[in-house]
């Protein structure tokens, strides 16, 4: 490579890889180790989330203004009932959020956020369902973890609240670090990257992972999310999805959240959010194809079925006859 341009390419026999790696810089050898090392399972309280196959993380937005289902789960009983149904349909994890981070959304007071998410988390956790809390705020993280959540999903990658990294480190829970550019209020105002977006996202996430480790968070508990739609044009999203496998070099499991995103509408005649299921499944399978371990989706039964068929095809192709 010369900067971001490939200047040569070579096919190397498997038996010669070790010898070639010895001549590469240390960071390249580390990336190869990361690419070839299986991801250990995530401990979510008493539950264990295996990462040897793609898993579905279901979205429950307990908000009145989510971009895709605003108001549908604003009532705690409705949100908890939806979470239970999603778990029964095959979701391995229910991701509960109380603040919309759609483009243009304003920040929500933490008191309102807590009022929205805590009853939902408590109901789900009491039934033994694995729950994560989708929030940027340390106070919400603390209260949600105490209420039964076992994982934190932070769209700011621990940059929004200076106490957040300390809270996660003390709890010893898994954390999702998501790439973003700007804030929800500003992120879609002419997003720009000086280099190809997969390289930009890789380097940014690598820095955030190192910052999290320095704050006392175990590397094996860190999940990376490329942040589809968070400070990215449609072309940025396409480039990032096509280059998603590059991010395995970070050495962390990958979460992909592309469900019902605007890029689907942009590629399909501006289909509204409630008509983006086929595109959402296409992107989920693209993520699975490139090794994403967690797929964050709205439509659980349909995505689970699509993944089962995808796995059947893949397993049959790899089985000797």
Domain residue limits at 206? 54-318
Per-residue model confidence (pLDDT) at position 69: 56
Q: Scanning the structure block, which residue is given the tokens 């605007």?
A: 262
Percent of the chain predicted with pLDDT > 70: 94
Region 220-239 average pLDDT: 96
Per-residue model confidence (pLDDT) at position 2: 56
In CATH, what number is assigned to the domain containing residue 310? 3.20.20.20
DSSP 5: B
Q: Scanning the structure block, which residue is given the tokens 């490579």?
A: 1
pLDDT at 268 over 60: yes
Residue at 185 is within a domain = yes
CA dist 104 and 25 (Å) reads 42
Q: Using one digit for the tens of pLDDT, what is the confidence trace for 95-115?
A: 999 998 777 777 888 999 999
Provide the 3-class DSSP secondary structure of residue 75.
coil
Residue at 7 is within a domain = no
Q: Scanning the structure block, which residue is given the tokens 């900067």?
A: 3
Mean pLDDT, all residues of the chain = 91
Q: Which of 63-72, 184-193, 241-250, 271-280 has the lowest mean pLDDT?
A: 63-72
Residue at 222 is within a domain = yes
Per-residue model confidence (pLDDT) at position 72: 64
Per-residue model confidence (pLDDT) at position 74: 66
Region 81-106 average pLDDT: 91
Per-residue model confidence (pLDDT) at position 70: 54
Residue at 27 is within a domain = no
Per-residue model confidence (pLDDT) at position 1: 52
Residue at 10 is within a domain = no
Per-residue model confidence (pLDDT) at position 68: 55
Q: Using one digit for the tens of pLDDT, what is the confidence trace for 294-315?
A: 999 999 999 999 999 999 999 9
Q: Using one digit for the tens of pLDDT, what is the confidence trace for 121-153?
A: 999 999 999 999 999 999 999 999 999 999 999
Per-residue model confidence (pLDDT) at position 95: 98
Residue at 204 is within a domain = yes
Per-residue model confidence (pLDDT) at position 14: 72
C-alpha separations of 127 from 63, 123, 272 in Å: 22, 7, 34
Q: How many domains does the chain have?
A: 1
Residue at 103 is within a domain = yes
Residue at 225 is within a domain = yes
Helix (H) or strand (E) segment spanning residue 170:
helix 164-171
CA dist 158 and 162 (Å) reads 7
Q: ∠ CA 269-271-274 to the nearest 5 degrees?
A: 170
Residues 227/191, Cβ–Cβ less than 8 Å: no
Catalytic residues: 261, 296
Per-residue model confidence (pLDDT) at position 184: 75
């Amino acid at each position: 490579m010369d900067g971001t341009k490939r200047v040569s390419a070579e096919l190397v026999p498997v038996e010669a890889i070790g010898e070639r790696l010895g001549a590469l810089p240390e960071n390249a050898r580390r990336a190869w180790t990361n690419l070839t090392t299986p991801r250990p399972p995530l401990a979510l309280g008493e539950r264990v989330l295996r990462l040897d196959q793609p898993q579905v993380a279901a979205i429950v937005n307990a908000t009145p203004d989510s971009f895709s289902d605003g108001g549908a789960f604003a009532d705690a009983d409705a949100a908890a009932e939806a979470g239970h149904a999603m778990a029964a349909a095959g979701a391995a994890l229910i991701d509960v959020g109380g603040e919309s981070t759609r483009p243009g959304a304003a920040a929500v007071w933490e008191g309102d956020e807590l009022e929205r998410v805590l009853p939902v988390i408590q109901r789900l956790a009491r039934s033994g369902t694995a729950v994560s809390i989708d929030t940027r705020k340390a106070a919400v993280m603390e209260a949600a973890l105490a209420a039964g959540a076992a994982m934190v999903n932070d769209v700011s990658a621990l940059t929004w609240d200076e106490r957040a990294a300390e809270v996660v480190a003390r709890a010893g829970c898994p954390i999702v670090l998501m790439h973003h550019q700007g804030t929800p209020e500003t992120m879609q105002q002419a997003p720009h990257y000086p280099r190809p977006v997969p390289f930009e996202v890789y380097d940014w996430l690598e820095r955030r992972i190192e910052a999290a480790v320095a704050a006392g968070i175990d590397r094996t508990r860190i999940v990376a999310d490329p942040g589809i739609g968070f400070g990215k044009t449609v072309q940025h999203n396409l480039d990032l999805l096509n280059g998603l496998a590059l991010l395995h070099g970070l050495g962390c499991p990958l979460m992909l959240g592309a469900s019902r995103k605007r890029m689907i509408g942009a590629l399909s005649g501006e289909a509204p959010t409630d008509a983006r299921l086929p595109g959402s499944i296409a992107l989920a399978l693209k993520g699975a194809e490139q090794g994403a371990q967690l797929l964050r989706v709205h439509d659980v039964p349909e995505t689970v079925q699509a993944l089962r068929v995808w796995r059947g095809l893949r397993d049959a192709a790899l089985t000797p006859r």
